[in-house]
């Protein structure tokens, strides 16, 4: 039996479209020998949206990170050129290669992002990956545990974790689903016992409670797992990472698997469960940005509740309350997860934080969204206070006029920041001020778009069809 782990199914949301299709084809070629535990199916379904969110966050965070690094590098070079009294031509020769490299790399990132075919909205409303897997795994998914079994097995997991008996003890500090790996293992054992069939587990999990390593290389499953499978079920147990499985599928099953797809699988496997190392200041900045986002969302929630007290039947305020409530819960959970999955250490005499990579990328994206949301909200609150939310006749007309004024103000500000940015680039003087200009330009654009949507909504109310 070929058993596929949760992390392999989630890679389908990170692969390029061609690689995704090749992996799905390889799974089809396994045929009736393919099987997944109930725990894997549940974890996959619950985490698939976060998987695509994390991947899409890369396409937003990496260009921004490149811009930030470019600004810092060029700032150092301009300071160096100034202190060395370089001539204009020498300074240009120093700076232009850096600008060209960053521009070229950023363009490649954007190109890759444009070729990625999954969207968050598409996955939520009609997940194409889920549809494919539902067909492939029809009748090939195990049963879950009943309530009594679940309680008994959680107690057994806690005993095993205390004794550091694999698998799952490396997750014992998790607040949620710490027993997940052990449940997967127990369901695999029962399947092997039922069929008297050897098991091949395809997983990108590289934690020491699953795999044995020598000289930093994975050489197979933990001996304890092999022994437990043999003793309890009388069969062999093997582990392969996804890249190796795809090569076997190409050779033994005739699956069409390109070298590019194998490389993607190996690269993703190398990043699984590998923490990012953040300087203490960067970690604290990230936590602060998330806290600001949370506080802003809570303020929005209070405003929506106050407005609903005055207008209890207003659907707009009801929607505002629901969105704000969801945002508060989302950011609170993210802050909690970041705290629970961060370890403060000292490296080379400097304090750093070891943090789960996908979690950091998600946190950075949410922090960016929070900054843009706060900027848009400032204008929209002003619009509301000026009467945009008034109902009927003169109140709506005054609100429309106020909103038009705010919209023109936002577009004027956008043009001003765009001009300043153009001037900065023409002088080839990139420093912290240009980064600030870019942020303000994006803020003005976001505000203008938000106000434009409000204008359209008011125009479509029916009161001013010809206005």
Q: Is the pLDDT of residue 255 over 60?
A: yes
Spacing of C-alpha 112 from chain mean position: 16
Highest mean pLDDT among 212-216, 239-243, 301-305, 331-335: 239-243
What the block records as the tokens of 369 is 């969204």
Residue range 157-213, pLDDT digits in tens: 999 989 999 998 888 877 778 899 999 999 999 999 999 999 999 998 888 888 887
Q: Is 205 exposed, middle or buried (0-12, 13-18, 19+ CB in 10 A)?
A: buried
Q: Please, what's the largest Cα pairwise distance for the chain?
A: 82
pTM of the model as a whole: 0.60
Residues 344-395 have pLDDT tens digits of: 877 667 788 877 766 777 787 777 666 555 545 444 444 444 444 444 444 4
Domain ranges (residues) in the chain: 2-271, 275-459
Contact of 22 with 258, CB cutoff 8 Å: yes
Between 374 and 229, whose confidence is greater? 229
How high does pLDDT run on average in the chain?
A: 79
> d(Cα 376, Cα 366) in Å, to the nearest integer?
15
pLDDT at 431: 43
The whole-angstrom separation of Cα 35 and Cα 285 is: 44
Q: Quote the percentage of the chain above a pLDDT of 90.
A: 29
Does 154 have pLDDT greater than 70?
A: yes
Distance of alpha carbon 169 from alpha carbon 156, whole angstroms: 12
Give yes or no for residue 341 having a pLDDT over 80: no
423-466 pLDDT, tens digit each: 665 554 444 455 556 666 666 666 666 666 666 665 655 444 44
Confidence of residue 337 (pLDDT cuts 50, 70, 90): confident
């Amino acid at each position: 039996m070929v058993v596929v782990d949760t992390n392999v199914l989630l890679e389908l949301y990170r692969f390029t479209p061609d690689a995704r299709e090749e992996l799905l084809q390889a799974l089809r070629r396994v045929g009736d020998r393919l099987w997944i535990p109930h725990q894997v199916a549940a974890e996959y379904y619950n985490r698939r949206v976060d998987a695509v969110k994390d991947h899409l966050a890369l396409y937003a965070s990496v260009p921004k990170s490149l811009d930030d690094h470019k600004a810092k590098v060029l700032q150092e070079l301009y300071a160096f050129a100034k202190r060395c009294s370089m001539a204009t031509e020498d300074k240009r020769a120093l700076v232009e290669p850096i600008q060209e490299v960053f521009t070229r790399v950023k363009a490649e990132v954007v190109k890759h992002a444009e070729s990625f075919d999954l969207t968050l909205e598409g996955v939520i409303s009609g997940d194409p990956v889920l549809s494919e897997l539902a067909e492939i795994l029809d009748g090939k998914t195990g049963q879950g545990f009943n309530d009594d079994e679940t309680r008994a097995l959680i107690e057994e997991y806690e005993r095993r974790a205390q004794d550091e008996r694999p698998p799952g003890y490396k997750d014992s500090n998790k607040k949620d689903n710490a027993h997940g790996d052990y449940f997967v293992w127990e369901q695999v054992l029962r399947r092997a016992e039922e069929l008297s069939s050897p098991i091949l587990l395809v997983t990108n999990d590289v934690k020491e409670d699953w795999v044995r390593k020598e000289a930093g290389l994975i050489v197979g499953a933990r001996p304890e797992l092999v022994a437990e499978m043999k003793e309890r079920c009388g069969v062999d147990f093997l582990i392969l990472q996804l890249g190796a499985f795809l090569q076997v599928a190409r050779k033994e099953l005739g699956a069409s698997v390109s070298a590019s797809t194998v490389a993607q699988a190996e690269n993703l496997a190398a990043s699984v469960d590998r923490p990012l190392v953040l300087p203490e200041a960067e970690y604290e900045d990230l936590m602060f940005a998330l806290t600001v986002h949370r506080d802003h969302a809570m303020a929005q929630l209070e405003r929506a509740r106050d407005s609903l007290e005055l207008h209890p039947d207003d659907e707009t305020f009801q929607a505002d309350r629901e969105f704000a409530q969801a945002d508060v819960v989302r950011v609170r959970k993210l802050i909690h997860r970041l705290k629970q999955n961060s370890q403060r250490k000292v490296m080379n005499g400097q304090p750093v934080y070891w943090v789960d990579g996908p979690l950091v990328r998600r946190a950075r994206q949410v922090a960016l969204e929070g900054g843009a949301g706060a900027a848009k909200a400032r204008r929209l609150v002003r619009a509301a206070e000026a009467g945009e939310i008034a109902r009927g006749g003169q109140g709506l007309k005054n609100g429309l006029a106020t909103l038009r004024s705010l919209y023109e103000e936002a577009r004027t500000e956008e043009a001003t920041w765009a001009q300043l940015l153009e001037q900065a680039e023409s002088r080839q003087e990139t420093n912290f001020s240009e980064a600030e200009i870019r942020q303000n330009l994006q803020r003005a654009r976001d505000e203008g778009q938000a106000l434009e949507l409000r204008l359209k909504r008011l125009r479509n109310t029916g009161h001013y069809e010809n206005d």
